[in-house]
Amino acid sequence: MPPLRIGFIGAGANTRDRHIPGFQAIEEVELAAVVNRSRASSQLVATRFGIPRVHEKVEDLIGDGEIDAVCIGTWPYRHKEYSIKALEAGKHVLCEARMAMDAEEAAAMLACADRNSHLIAQLVPAPFDLKSGATVTRLINEGTIGDVREVTVAALNGSALDAKTPIHWRQQQKYSGRNIQSLGIWAEVVLRWLGDAKTAMAHGTTWVVERPDGEGGAMAQVDVPDSVTVTGELANGAHYTYRVSSVAAGSPENGITVFGTKGTIRWLPNDTATLIPHGSEPRPITPDPGTDLGWQVEADFVDSIRQGTEVRFTSFAGGVRYMRFIDAAWRSLQEGKLVEV
């Protein structure tokens, strides 16, 4: 088969560390072109990875007839625009997470993907449970822990404690939209295991309201909460609680815990999990054979293009589902009340 030619829109850390090496490892895949925030930064990436062409504008790369697929590595504020333009130009799309600025943008992206269903439209997935998640999901679905009653998520760190730390794109709505820190990443994992949320009640605080912009020392406004708690009910009737904070250092309890009528599953951020049956000793959960795959996002994308395999992690439809939850949590923060998802 002819080589699959990939163009890169945005070449930040995740693109350089994961996507480009991932594509380089696949036979008959060519790194065709790149466009980054400046000509100079584009050329640095091109030189480092042997990419033959540098484009001045995103539109030029999307219109390049020698590109079959694009990898969009920008922040969420450009995801809708570039994904839709690329799909309409006949390119397959691998778009970085988070999917979009809000659920409305995500729905527009999905509608465009549906109109161009002969093309692959894939989102970079939350990477946390790529080894153990399939087995955890199976155990829950088989009733190993009985009926699920509660799920708690703790994602606590101290990365924002120092007010002198330069502002991050996740702390600015103009780049992140309604995505609240890492809330959407954790919600994507819970959605895989337990399905959609039904309601959301959120409370959040921004402790440091200004930070250096990192580009000359000017101060920039922080308008995304440093700390947020979201509670509510899942569609299956279970209750959930998320605690996401960048001002809570040293927590020993980070991870996801699913409480059932017969037992508990405790998942840790190193992607290991433990089954704790009521009245019995805890035992480690060994991933089912063939599911302990880890990161193979680029290979999955290429397989979907070449072989027509269904997008597993993560389809545009799956992205819309988690963006609806993000929207509900954001609306609850603004309105101070329980919101239907």
pLDDT tens column, 168-223 = 999 999 999 999 999 999 999 999 999 999 999 999 999 999 999 977 779 999 99
**What share of the chain has pLDDT > 90, as a percent?**
96
Question: Of 323, 301, 302, 321, which Cα lies nearest the Cα of 312?
Answer: 301
User: Residue 128 above 90 pLDDT?
Assistant: yes
Per-residue confidence band for 225, with pLDDT thresholds at 50, 70 and 90: very high
Preceding peptide of 314 cis, ω within 30°: yes
**What share of the chain has pLDDT > 70, as a percent?**
100
Write down the pLDDT at residue 314.
Answer: 95
User: Residue 255 above 90 pLDDT?
Assistant: yes
Write down the pLDDT at residue 295.
Answer: 95
3-state SS, one letter per residue, for the chain = CCCEEEEEECCCHHHHHHHHHHHHCCCCEEEEEEECCCHHHHHHHHHHHCCCEECCCHHHHHCCCCCCEEEECCCHHHHHHHHHHHHHCCCEEEECCCCCCCHHHHHHHHHHHHHCCCCCEEECCCCCCCCCHHHHHHHHHCCCCCCEEEEEEEEECCCCCCCCCCCCHHHCHHHHCCCCCCHHHHHHHHHHHHCCECEEEEEEECCCCEEECCCCCCEEECCCCCEEEEEEEECCCCEEEEEEECCCCCCCCCEEEEEECCEEEEEECCCEEEEEECCCCCEECCCCCCCCCCCCHHHHHHHHHHHCCCCCCCEHHHHHHHHHHHHHHHHHHHHCCCEEC
* Summary mean pLDDT of the chain: 96
Contact 105, 80 (CB under 8 A): yes
pLDDT tens column, 30-42 = 999 999 989 999 9
Write down the pLDDT at residue 215.
Answer: 72
Write down the pLDDT at residue 312.
Answer: 85
Determine the average pLDDT of the residues in 67-84.
Answer: 98
Write down the pLDDT at residue 253.
Answer: 87
Determine the average pLDDT of the residues in 129-157.
Answer: 98
Determine the average pLDDT of the residues in 13-33.
Answer: 96
pLDDT tens column, 290-339 = 999 899 999 999 999 999 999 989 999 999 999 999 999 999 999 999 99
User: Residue 26 above 80 pLDDT?
Assistant: yes
Determine the average pLDDT of the residues in 257-274.
Answer: 98
CA distance linking residue 211 with residue 145, whole number of Å: 45
User: Residue 88 above 90 pLDDT?
Assistant: yes
User: Residue 130 above 90 pLDDT?
Assistant: yes
Write down the pLDDT at residue 1.
Answer: 77
Q: Which CATH architecture has domain 133-293+323-340?
A: 2-Layer Sandwich (3.30)
Residue 313's identity, in one-letter code, is F
Determine the average pLDDT of the residues in 282-295.
Answer: 95
Q: How many CA atoms within 13 Å lie on the side-chain side of 316? A: 28
- Structure-token pair, residue 101: 């600025």
Domain extents in the chain: 4-125+295-312, 133-293+323-340
- The model's pTM is 0.95
Top-level class of domain 4-125+295-312: alpha beta
